[in-house]
Structure 1
C-alpha cells in the first residue's frame, strides 16, 4: 500500500493524475487463476495552496472502501495502512474511495479530504492505481483589526454561506479559529457578512456586505464561480472614523486563495441584505447517537469502531430519543466474516430476520426474553420516548466468530421511526482484531 502526500497543487501537474481520479497503469504479471487480477493501490493527499504551509496531512488513517459487481460485499479497511500491498480481485469493474476519518459535515474544525476512482481488473494483469484525496470543504477565517477592538465594545457577526450554513461570532470571540464549511455541492457563489456592533460611546452600527467569488480582483479560466473545496476566504473587520474621530461605520474586507492558485486575492464587496440563517432543527424529530468514550474501544469515527477479541468491551450502547414516541426500531446486520454470516442466516426474532428486511426490536418477545433478559436488560416498548439500545449484547456472537475478515466489518444499520412518521437512521461498523 503506497501512501503519498502532495503538498501543493502545482506539484500535481508533473504527474498524469486528475483530481480525485484514478491513475491506471497496466504492466506484466500473471495469476494462477485466469479469472483474477491484482490491484496495487496507493492513496495520495492533495493539499491546496492555502494549506501547503501547514502540517503535512497523512493518509495513514484514511478509511478505504473497494466496491465492485464481482464482490458479494464491499471490502472495507479501517485505515489505509491496513490495505495489503497487493489485492487479488475477480475480473470486473471497481470503485475505490478513501477519505479522512469520520463524516463530512456542514461545519468542521479541521479540513476533510476525500477521493475516489473507477477502474477495471483484467485477468492475469496487475493494476496500479492511486486515489487522490482533495480537500472537500472551504476554509473560512474571521480576523479583527486593532481599530475594531479599540472602537467597539460589543458585536455580533454572522457569516452565511448558502441557505443553511451560517457562522455566528460574539464579543467573546476575539481570536476565532478557522472553520471548514461543506458548501461545494451547493455551488455557493457568495458569502454574506452581517454585523451589528456597539461603539464604546454606545452608538449602534449595522453593516452587511456580500463577497462574490466572481468579484475577485483576479480571475482564471480554470476556476469556477462558486466556492470549492480547498478555497480559503479570510474576512477582516475594522472601523471607519469621520474627520472628528467619531466611529461612523465598519470596514469589512475579504481575500480569497483559490484551491489551485498561490496568490491571495482581494474580493471587492457589495452592499448586502441580511443573510439567510440556518433552519431550526425539528426538536421533535427522533435522534440516534452511538456511545463515545467506551473503554477498550478504538474509535475510527463516530460510527466506526474496533476492539480486540482478547480484551473486548463490557458494553456498547446507542441512545435513541423520540419526543413523538417510538413506533419502530428496525435493525439490519451485515456480517464481517463468514462464521457470523452463518449465524445470521438462522437468527430470527419473532419470525423476523436481520439480513434482508431487518428485525423490529420494539415489543419483540424473542429479543427481550432470549437476548436481553439473560443479561438483566429490558427491551423497548411502543410509545417510549427514550431507549438505550445495548448493541453490546451482540458481542457474544461476534466474539465467538472471532476476528473480522481483512477489509470487512460487522455492520449494524438502524432505522428509528416515531409515531408522527418521522425517521432517523444510523450505521455502526465494528472491526474485531485478535
Structure 2
C-alpha cells in the first residue's frame, strides 16, 4: 500500500512540474527582475452593448446575444497576446483558459514597462468575408514595480456584419431566381439568394470607405429582367463629417417592390444600421441610397447607354488534325457590353458534344448563372476565374475575355474527324448577340 501511495505522490509531482513548465512556456521566457509587477486582466466579449458571456438568450429590450456559437462567446477559448511595446517582444501568448490561475483569474507577472494586450476569438484580421464573426479587443497599459495593474478588455465585433432580406411585396412581384451581390468597396463581396437570405456574413472592414455597393438581378413574374445597382452611404457623423465604415457596423438590407408593372420594373432598398458597440440602430435615410439602373424608385429613369455588344475573336473557324496538341491561330474571345453582361450562354454541338462527359460539362450552360457543380468544372478548366464569375453573376462586368483555349485544344485529342461547334450568346438584358466557334478536325493520315 505504501508503494502505491508513493507512486501516486510521484505521479502528482510530475504532473505539477509539467503544468508549471507549460505555464512558463505560455508566459514566455521573460525573466523577471526586482522591478516586477502584475497584470490582472478582466476579459469580456461584447455585442450590442451586452457582455455576451454573462447574458441569457434575450436581454436589454430584446437584444439577442444567443445566436453566436459558444466558441465566439466564451472568452476562455480566445487567444491572448501580451507584447512589450518598448521592445516589441511577445512576453505571453496562449488561450485564456491556459493563462488562468486556480481561482479563474488571469494574472501575468511582468517587468516594469509599457505593454499592449490583445485577445481574439480566431485569426480573422485578413479574412475578406466569413460566416464567422471576428471579435477582438486591444489595449495598452503600464506595469509598475510591485503593483498589480487591473485592465478591463472588451472584445468587440471587429468587422462589418451583413444580412439580406426581401419583403412580401418583392416575393409577389419577382421570381425566386434573384441574386444580390454586396461588396465593401475593397474587393470583399458576397452573393445572396433565396438559399442564404437571413444569414449573417462578416466582411473585412475597408480602409477609408464610407459606402457599400449592392447589385440586384431579378426577373419579374411576367418574365421581365431587371438589374439595379445601388450605393448605400453611411450617414454623416454628429459633426456632419464623413463617417467611414467601421468595425461593429451591422447592416440589414431589405429588397422591396416599388410598384412594378408589365412595362415598368422597380426595386427599392431599405437599410438599417446598428452600431453593435452600443446597440443603437438607425434607418439609413433615402437620400443616402443612390440608384443606377433601369428605374429609380420615386424618380426619373436614367437614360439607357447606347446598345453595344461587341466581339473580338468571334465568329471563328479553326482547322486541325486528329491527335494535334495545338490548334493553329487559336485566340481568346473578348466580349464588351456597355450595359453589362447579364447572360453568356454556351451551347456545344457536333462531334465533341457526345464526349463532354469526359470533362463533366453539360451541352448548354450560362457562364453568368452556374450551379456549384458546373461552376467548379468551368473554373477548373480555367475558362473563368472565381472573381470573374462573381462580376458576371452580378451583371456588372462590361468587358470579359473568355479563355476557351484550354477546352478547345482537347478536341483534336478525342475527336477523330468532323466539326465541333461552340455557340456563344450574350445578353445585356435588352439586346442579344451570338456567334459560333467551329473547330474542324481532319482525320490523321495513316
TM-score by length of 2: 0.48
Question: TM-score, length-normalised on structure 1?
Answer: 0.49
Question: Which structure's CA Rg is the greater one?
Answer: 2
Larger RCO (alpha carbons 8 Å, 6+ apart): 1
In proportion to residue count, which structure has more helix? Answer: 2
